[in-house]
């Protein structure tokens, strides 16, 4: 881990981080004793209300890295929103809300409200009338509430942009800057992301003062243990290949990624024809249905979740045995995020990427090079998998 360019090796226990008894109790309840590297690095600075940019791979505990100091800064008697988290998707916003609620379980009077699009606004307005100190929101819906004056942000002290790079490249940059401009009394901003893009640096340049930069490399300590394969396969055989792999691998929980909403629906259909229990999640599916699907998947009631990158981003779904890249991802970072769903919590994971055209092969070459991952080549032909020799192209 690096803090402002200096490499730090020490990882701290929560009881070394000046955390109050009520939050320690909540951590204890979950059995957490040692802070993750990004938490060890960010918590002390965030506690002092310093600006922070933290870059750490998916699944390394960024939520608590900002969540613990935010909850710590809440006044349980207070009636103003003082803590604001912005997240790119509704699912992520809800997940952050849940994590924060867990953290303040033993802090009576601290309330967390989640504001996101695609759900009735009246219910959210009612919740806001309960005077939460923490608001977790997607930028669009928060803007709605601000226009209606159903939320007041003039007492906000701390703002966090979670999955900052994603949020900015999803076109929220104007909403985000608008929101930041209106929060005149803020003391600090935290940006948490697996990657730091130029847009994130631009926001930092304008809105942060002397930020502490924390970088957690995907080193051996964090790097998930994932066996990666790329498989040459005819387009028309992909669903069959996936079914075969699921059957022979004995995998109980899988995520399959597609590049388009359309393809997730089609793949879900193809898998169901093969009696594989699955559901698709993407942006056009109703919020309530998406949540139900995710819950069923978490509860182990469904074998395969078929998702687009946007829908799956930031979701804390661990315990996935295998990830399928049914389509080769468009961006190298997506590859890293996708396969990061497996091999979490030091379990062994497997990732398969299907390549069905020269374009996809080249895209995959580029991913392998760009992410410096070790990926074995296989070929699916006449119902069998063949190992291909390493040919030096990657």
Which residues lie near ligand CDP (CB under 6 A)?
Answer: 32, 34-36, 56, 58-64, 316
From 198-206, 209-217, 275-283, 308-316, span contacting Mg ion (CB under 5 A): 308-316
Q: State in angstroms the smallest separation of the CB of 69 from Mg ion.
A: 15
Q: Name the nearest CA neighbour of 115 among 153, 70, 77.
A: 153
Q: Name the nearest CA neighbour of 314 among 142, 95, 160, 113.
A: 95
CA dist., res. 121 & res. 117, Å (int): 8
Q: State in angstroms the smallest separation of the CB of 314 from Mg ion.
A: 5
Q: Name the nearest CA neighbour of 363 among 318, 325, 331, 323.
A: 331
- CB closer to ligand CDP, 11 vs 22: 11
Exposure string (b/e) for 60-69, b if CB count within 10 Å is 16 or more? bbbbbbbbbb
Provide the mask over 11-50, with x wherever binding to Mg ion is found by CB under 5 A and - wherever it is not. ----------------------------------------
- CB closer to Mg ion, 132 vs 314: 314
Q: State in angstroms the smallest separation of the CB of 54 from Mg ion.
A: 10
Q: State in angstroms the smallest separation of the CB of 379 from ligand CDP.
A: 34
**DSSP output for 177-229:** HHHHHH-TT--EEEEEESS--HHHHHHHHHH-SSPEEEE----TTT--EEEEE
- CB closer to Mg ion, 136 vs 226: 136
Q: State in angstroms the smallest separation of the CB of 23 from ligand CDP.
A: 13
Q: State in angstroms the smallest separation of the CB of 120 from ligand CDP.
A: 27
Identify whether the C-beta of residue 237 lies closer than 8 Å to the C-beta of residue 303: no
Provide the mask over 261-300, with x wherever binding to Mg ion is found by CB under 5 A and - wherever it is not. ----------------------------------------
Phi, psi of 169, deg, nearest 5? -85, 0
Q: State in angstroms the smallest separation of the CB of 160 from ligand CDP.
A: 11
Residue nearest to Mg ion (CB): 62
Q: Does 141 bind Mg ion (CB under 5 A)?
A: no
Write down how long the chain is.
394
Q: Which does 211 bind (CB under 5 to 8 A by kind): Mg ion, ligand CDP, none?
A: none
Neighbours of 299 (CB within 10 A): 8
Q: Which does 59 bind (CB under 5 to 8 A by kind): ligand CDP, Mg ion, none?
A: ligand CDP
- CB closer to ligand CDP, 59 vs 343: 59
Strand 212-215 and strand 2-3: the pairing is antiparallel
CA dist., res. 173 & res. 181, Å (int): 12
Q: State in angstroms the smallest separation of the CB of 210 from ligand CDP.
A: 24
Q: Which does 32 bind (CB under 5 to 8 A by kind): Mg ion, ligand CDP, none?
A: ligand CDP
Angle among Cα 201, 140, 53 to the nearest 5 degrees reads 25
Identify whether the C-beta of residue 175 lies closer than 8 Å to the C-beta of residue 147: no
Q: Does 337 bind Mg ion (CB under 5 A)?
A: no
Q: Does 62 bind Mg ion (CB under 5 A)?
A: yes
Query: Which stretches of the chain bind Mg ion, using CB under 5 A?
Result: 62, 314
């Amino acid at each position: 881990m690096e803090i402002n360019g200096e490499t730090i090796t020490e990882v701290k226990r929560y009881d070394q981080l000046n955390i109050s008894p009520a939050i320690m109790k909540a951590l204890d309840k979950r059995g957490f004793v040692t802070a993750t590297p990004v938490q060890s690095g960010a918590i002390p600075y965030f506690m002092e209300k310093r600006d922070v940019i933290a870059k750490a791979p998916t699944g390394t505990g960024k939520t608590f890295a900002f969540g613990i100091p935010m909850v710590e800064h809440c006044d349980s008697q207070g009636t103003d929103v003082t803590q604001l988290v912005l997240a790119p998707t509704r699912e992520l916003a809800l997940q952050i809300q849940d994590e924060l609620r867990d953290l303040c379980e033993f802090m009576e009077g601290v309330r967390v409200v989640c504001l996101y699009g695609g759900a009735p606004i009246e219910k959210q307005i009612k919740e806001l009338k309960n005077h939460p100190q923490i608001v977790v929101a997607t930028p669009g819906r928060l803007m709605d509430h601000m226009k209606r004056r159903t939320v007041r942000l003039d007492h906000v002290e701390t703002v966090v942009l979670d999955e900052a790079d994603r949020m900015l490249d999803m076109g929220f940059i104007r909403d985000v800057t608008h929101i930041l401009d209106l929060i005149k009394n803020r003391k600090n901003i935290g940006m948490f992301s697996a990657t730091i893009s130029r847009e994130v640096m631009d926001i930092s340049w304008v809105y942060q003062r002397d930020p502490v930069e924390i970088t957690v490399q995907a080193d051996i300590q964090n790097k998930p243990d994932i066996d990666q394969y790329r498989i040459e396969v005819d387009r028309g055989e992909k669903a069959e290949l996936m079914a075969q792999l699921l059957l022979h691998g004995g995998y109980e929980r899988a995520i399959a990624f597609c590049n388009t909403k359309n393809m997730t629906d089609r793949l879900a259909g193809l898998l169901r024809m093969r009696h594989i229990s699955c559901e698709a999640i993407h942006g056009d599916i109703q919020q309530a249905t998406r949540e139900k699907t995710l819950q069923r998947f978490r509860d182990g009631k469904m074998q395969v979740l078929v998702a687009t990158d946007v829908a799956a981003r930031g979701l804390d779904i661990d315990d996935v045995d295998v990830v399928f890249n049914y389509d080769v991802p468009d961006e190298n970072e997506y590859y890293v995020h996708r396969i990061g769903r497996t091999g979490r919590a030091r379990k062994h994971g497997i990732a398969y990427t299907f390549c069905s055209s020269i374009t996809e092969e080249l895209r995959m070459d580029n991913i392998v090079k760009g992410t410096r991952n070790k990926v074995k080549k296989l070929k699916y032909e006449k119902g069998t998998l063949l190992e291909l020799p390493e040919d030096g192209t990657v």
